[in-house]
Amino acid sequence: MDTQRKLEILAQDAQYDLACACGTRDDEHRRRGAGGKWLYPVTLPSGGHSLLLKTLVSNACTNDCKYCPLRRGSNVERCSMTADEIANIFLEYRRTEHVFGLFLTSGVTGTPDQSMERLLDATKLLRKKHQFRGYIHLKILPGASDAAVEEAVHYASAVSLNIETPGKRHFDLLSSSKDYDRDIIRPLRLMSRLTAKGQPRARVKCTTQFVVGASDETDGEIVKYMTGLYDRLHFERIYFSAYQPGLGDPSIPGEKTLRQQPADAIIRREHRLYQTDFLMRKYGFAGSELVLDAAGNLPLDRDPKEAWALAHPEYFPLNANAADRETLLRVPGLGLLGVQRLLTARQTRRMHSLSEVGLRGRLAAKAAPYLRWS
């Protein structure tokens, strides 16, 4: 099989690992580049966004992750690329598509460390032979040894390992070939220690991803784990991948549950989790503040900030001319930019409406009932 055909297969199969694929803004979404290859957004150190070329090193896998179309025994065309092939493809894409960096992941072929070695060989080739000093995101494979994790953190700009589920019980419903504590939690904690403030590799960013809906987890369970990942492990970002019925083993809980729901329910659930993540990272919300229904899930019919506001009528209406930034960020319809505009404008005059700072339309109407102007 020639290199181009391998890339077509492996870049297409990389879509199933959706970290960096979805978000709350248009510039956080993936897109296809030349030849149908997936290009993924990344935030630049100086602000703004650019694109990553993302591919698998191999789509062969010894694991039996029941949600994954590439799991052991599934009927897909298998192939792998060499370190030289990956380096040459990336350098060509960098020249022609102006990509900012590379995202490398892989199935587990042989042992986790043997597969990590293939990822690292390609990375070291780019770093040492081709003197590439830009962005490389490496996927830490479940079960990787401490030494492999340490080497990945040394060479990468960012590393990630999918946590997959909130807890061992849910994890065991999806895989019998991996151990949650040994293969997932242990390396996640090591990644956190290696990149902690004051460590030599503190600039390396750590992210992870939940597979949403394949097991029978609740949003409340996911939010609890998110709190730990942010507050104790200090991860940079958490992503969510909505399980799509039909891609995995028919025996997993999500197959039956999702087929009984509206077709778009799982995508809306993913979106609500992204909104929740944004509230926790940017708006000062604690996970324990999120409003959940009787089943422990986020409401699908309204965003999580609005759900919180409706549950706390005693908090509103706020005096828009006196409330501080943290308080104003609790107002449905007001975002980071809108709040900053309001704070800046009211330094020189008393404000009477959101339209005075350029906020009109649907979001302004949403915010209006929660504000007063005197």
DSSP characters over 237-255: EEEEEEPPTTSS-TTSHHH
pLDDT value at position 322?
96
pLDDT value at position 33?
53
The residue out of 282, 301, 320 marking a domain boundary is: 301
**326 and 216 share one domain:** no
In a domain, 277, yes or no: yes
pLDDT tens for residues 354-366? 999 999 999 999 9
Give the Cα separation of 322 and 155 in Å (integer): 49
The residue out of 274, 301, 328 marking a domain boundary is: 301
pLDDT tens for residues 234-246? 999 999 999 988 8
CATH value at residue 365: 1.10.150
pTM: 0.89
**148 and 240 share one domain:** yes
10 Å CB burial of residue 63 (0-12, 13-18, 19+) is buried
Whole-angstrom CA distances from 169 to 145, 197, 221, 260, 284 are: 23, 32, 12, 23, 30
Q: Residue 231 sits in which domain range?
A: 3-301
Q: How many CA atoms lie within 13 A of 158 on its CB side?
A: 24
In a domain, 306, yes or no: no
**334 and 203 share one domain:** no
**114 and 60 share one domain:** yes
In a domain, 233, yes or no: yes
In a domain, 263, yes or no: yes
**191 and 273 share one domain:** yes
CB-CB contact of 326 with 320 (8 Å): no
Burial 335-364 (b: 16+ CB within 10 A, else e): beebbebbeeebeeeebeebeebebeeeeb
**261 and 348 share one domain:** no
Give the Cα separation of 68 and 76 in Å (integer): 12
pLDDT tier, 43 (very low <50, low <70, confident <90, very high otherwise): very low
In a domain, 318, yes or no: yes
CATH value at residue 44: 3.20.20
**74 or 151, which is more confident?**
151
Q: Look at strands 31-32 and 158-160 and give their pairing.
A: unpaired
pLDDT tens for residues 96-131? 877 888 999 999 999 999 999 999 999 999 999 999
In a domain, 307, yes or no: no
pLDDT value at position 44?
44
**351 and 259 share one domain:** no
In a domain, 42, yes or no: yes
CB-CB contact of 131 with 138 (8 Å): no
**292 and 318 share one domain:** no
**Considering its fold, how many domains does the chain have in total?**
2
